[in-house]
Amino acid sequence: MDFWELEVREFLFALKAYSSVEKEKHIALMSSVWTSAALQRMKKLPDYNRFMDGFKDESAKKSRIDELKEIDRLLKDKKIKR
């Protein structure tokens, strides 16, 4: 869809979604940079499996696909106006 065909509400919704995605990317990048710097300062690297277990979060947010499915469901139920 062309920018000029969007309604203001649709544009703002897309802008908010884009902003959210970019914020998540920034947080992920900064986490990687910080972790890399911390690992460089260590004399001995930790065991890989134990180290990676610290990054597993069972109560993590819904995946992006689940979020999109939820938005689609709400649009179909007309709980969100287009």
Residues 18-54 have pLDDT tens digits of 999 999 899 889 988 988 888 888 888 888 787 777 6
Rounded Cα–Cα distance for residues 28 and 50 (Å)? 20
pLDDT of residue 68: 72
| Alpha carbon distances (Å) from 62 to 23, 27, 34, 67 | 16, 17, 25, 6
pLDDT of residue 19: 92
pLDDT of residue 55: 64
Per-residue confidence band for 60, with pLDDT thresholds at 50, 70 and 90:
low
* 18 three-class SS: helix
Q: What is the pTM (predicted TM-score) of this model?
A: 0.53
pLDDT of residue 48: 77
